[in-house]
Structure 1
Amino acid sequence: MGSRLVVGISGASGAIYGVRCLELLRELGVETHLVISKSGVLTIEQELGVSAASVRKLADHVHAPGNIGAACASGSFQTLGMIVAPCSMRSLAEIATGVTSSLLTRSAEVVLKERRRLVLLTRETPLTNTHIKNMLAVSEMGGIVMPPVPAFYTHPKSIEELVDHMVSRALDLFELDAGKAKRWTGLNMAERPISTII
Structure 2
Amino acid sequence: MLKQQHLSALDAVSVAITGASGAQYAIRLIQCLLSKGIEVHLMMSDAAKVVIATEVDPAPPSKPADFASWLMQQAQQMPASQAKPELLQLYGKQQWTSRVASGSNAPRAMVVCPCSTGSLSAFATGASNNLIERAADVMLKERKQLIIVPREAPFSEIHLENMLKLTRMGAVIIPAAPGFYHQPKTIDDLIDFVVARILDHLQVPHQLTERWGK
Give the TM-score normalised by the residue count of structure 2. Answer: 0.83
The 5 Å alignment of 1:109-128 reads: 109-128=137-156
Instruction: Indicate the percent of aligned positions where both proteins have the same amino acid.
Output: 35
**In structure 1, C-alpha distance between the alignment counterparts of 2:67 and 2:147, rounded to whole Å:** 20
1:84 to 96, 112, 122: 112
Match in the other structure for 1:39: 47
State the partner residue of 1:7: 15
Q: Per-residue deviation at 1:78?
A: 3.8
1:151 shift after superposition: 1.1
Deviation at 1:51, TM superposition (A): 2.7
- The correspondence of residues 28-177 of structure 1 with structure 2, limited to 5 A, is 28-48=36-56, 49-52=59-62, 53=64, 54-57=66-69, 58=71, 60-177=88-205
Give the number of equivalent residue pairs. 186
* CA distance in structure 1 between the aligned counterparts of 2:208 and 2:25, rounded to whole angstroms: 13
8 A contact 1:92–1:134 mirrored in 2: yes
Larger Rg: 1
> Is the CA contact 1:9–1:84 (under 8 Å) kept in the aligned structure 2?
yes
- Unaligned 5+ segments in structure 2 are 1-5, 72-86
TM score, norm. by length of structure 1 = 0.89
State the Cα distance separating 1:56 from its structure 2 match.
Answer: 2.6
After superposition, what is the alpha-carbon deviation per residue over 1:139-194, rounded to whole angstroms, capped at 9, x for unaligned? 010001111111100100101011112101111101112221221016xxxxxxxx
4+ aligned runs moved over 6 Å, structure 1: none
Root mean square deviation, CA, Å: 1.4
